[in-house]
Chain A
Amino acid sequence: MQQFVNITLNGLTVGFIYSAFALCLVLIFRATRIINFGQGAQAMFTTYIALEVLQRSGSYALALLTALVSGFLLGGIVERVIVRPVENGPEINAVIVTLGLFVGFVALAAIVFGNSFEGFAAPFGVRGISVGDATIAITPNNLYNIVAVLVAMALLLCLFRFTSLGLQMRASAFGQEVARLLGVRVGRMLTLGWALAGMFGSLAGILIAGGSFISPSFMDGVVVFGFVAAVLGGLDSFVGAVVGGIVLGLTTNYVQGYVGQELQTLAALAILMTVLLAKPGGLFSSSVARRV
């Protein structure tokens, strides 16, 4: 029972991070109908930059800020320079380009930062909180992760709901032609969408890294989990992405705890296939009919 509770709590924490990552895939997919397979690699890269800052300055806040800003810039630049030309072409071309980003960034990080595992200090304690005489598996660091993701989600929600900028972004995601006719600078909105997604991805990256080790390929699995979570939620629903992330976090943690760590990704694949075959629109899809 104790083990079950601990696995569940851990799964929840991981699930929130997957949610953040799924959210950034959804952000991009809504705007451009592209899945950025390079997102994880970009996040890994900014996490390495943050680690450099952390080691030089010793300030986690500064490192976090660096990660977010560099993620924002990287996302925007990637969209404007590399993705823009293939945005309206065949979908397979866009997929291939983002895969190029994926493998390219991982290799670049291995060349620039080295191929070994490096420790990333956790900003908060990593020992379980004591309740009475029992220690539960939720650590201050876990709480920080959950709170950070929730705050970021709330900010994103405010941006989309209550600001003119958010309205313009939603308009250009909904219908590019119409938005353009109404005076929205659609190109800028797309770049901004990718930049915001890059920032969210960087947040997920630095949260996963905290209290753990990073290597150029540490986000490879997260890309898969984020993608599965996003598809679970229907790929264009923010709520769906969050729920999908948590469901996936819990499931992979149960598989890790009771079956075997190496089978996590295959479990995610099984979930993905089940969802796509049984309910291709995802659990929270807003569109009624779409061929998957």
Chain B
Amino acid sequence: MTVEAGSTEAKTTSAEGAVRQPGSGLLGSTFLRHALLMLLAYVGILLLLQVVDPFRGSQLGEMAYFVPAVAGLTVLTGLNGQISLGHGALMAVGAYTTAVMLDEREGPPFLLVVLLSVLTTVVVGAVVGAAAARLHGPYLAGATLALAVGLPGLALTFEGTLGGEQGLPVRPPRASDGLESFVEDTIGWELRSQTYLAYLGWALALLVLFLLSNLIVSRYGRTWRAVRDDEVAAELAGIDLGRMRILAFVVSAACAGVAGSLIAVVTRLTAPTTFTIVLSISLLVAIVIGGLGSLVGALLGSALLVFLRPAVTDAGNAAGLTDAQSANIAPLVYGIVLIVVMLLAPRGVVGSIRFAFLNRKAKQQLSAASASR
């Protein structure tokens, strides 16, 4: 019964895709709309970075490296239904690739470094994804948990190249003198290293969001949703489940690679202590609280991660806890948030609002229909 209903649904979605594809005008406008939105967001961020104080500025910079990772994970978990606790480890792959290339000597240009880091993470992600494609639910969670707990061990084993417990220092990229003087002359902004990194980070973060937002409404996004909602129906509709799952994992891993590269240059250090299981779980917190599968939710979740931690830590200090104790309030809150959101509002913030909105709209339509009759 359920299979039948699901299969017709999947067929209609693929039929929709077939109708939509020739009408490239419609697709083009989505593309332009997203591009415009991202540009506006970028200008907004640039202006915001100018007016806020350095501490808030550094927090915004911090947010830039959470956004790609959280957005990638929400696409994987929310759209394709695969949970991953290994994204902290994938970020570590990206970060270590960046750290090895950007050591004290003059290295290759930053964008090339990011590209290579993404490439490494994609390779690792493809291997993990190929295994993950055959797993679901708790099995997948357990396997990726093992990855998250185990992978930092590599850094300790290969102490010579990966720096062991101490980690590797990272030389952050600097604005070229030409760009620095150009910006100062034309707009009158001083391009300090930290703000420059925040600009760079947000440019990459928004680029990732832009690509993902287009991907979500594309044929691939629809296929992923079909796989998530009903495996059997999707397979009947001619979808190669394994290939689609691996693809989702690879896309998600690439985002984690960008995030890893950014975390390396923003924190200027790549050490195993950064990439603990708590990092992976905090990414999960962000997607759960924002709402699985929603990019707006991912932005919201990342913001909460960044701004909540110092807030609760300060609250702990104010309540008379030692620094070591206060540092653990944030993970405690993460745990409570995961449980409470799942028990009370499993759709997350954005999902709940969207649901309430659609619910109201449906009710209005219903009452309008009955009134006209």
Contact = CB atoms under 8 A, between A and B. Distances in A.
Partners in one complex: yes
A95 B346 CA distance: 13
Given A269-B147, A273-B131, 12 more contacts: A92-B81, A95-B137, A100-B336, A103-B281, A111-B329, A111-B332, A216-B328, A220-B277, A224-B145, A262-B156, A269-B143, A276-B135
A106 interface: yes
Contacts, number: 155
Interface of A: 29, 34-35, 37, 82, 85-86, 89, 91-97, 99-108, 110-111, 114-115, 216, 220-221, 223-224, 227-228, 231, 260, 262-266, 268-269, 272-273, 276-277, 280, 291-292
A110 B338 contact: no
Contact of A35 (B141, B277, B321): B141
Give 5 closest A-B pairs by Cβ, nearest first.
Answer: A104-B335, A100-B338, A265-B150, A262-B153, A107-B331
A86 B146 contact: no
A262 B153 CA distance: 5
Contacts of A280: 134
A257 B210 CA distance: 49
B175 interface: no
B339 interface: yes
Interface of B: 77, 81, 83, 85, 131, 134-139, 141-143, 145-147, 149-151, 153-154, 156-157, 277-278, 281, 284, 288, 321, 324-325, 328-332, 334-339, 342-343, 346
Contact of A92 (B83, B157, B331): B83
A96 B83 contact: yes
Nearest to A82: B339
Contacts of A276: 131, 134-135, 139, 143
A265 B150 CA distance: 5
Contacts of B334: 100, 103-104, 107
A231 B142 contact: yes
Contacts of A94: 138
Given A227-B146, A265-B149, A99 B338 contact: yes
A104 B342 CA distance: 14
B281 A99 contact: yes
Nearest to A110: B328
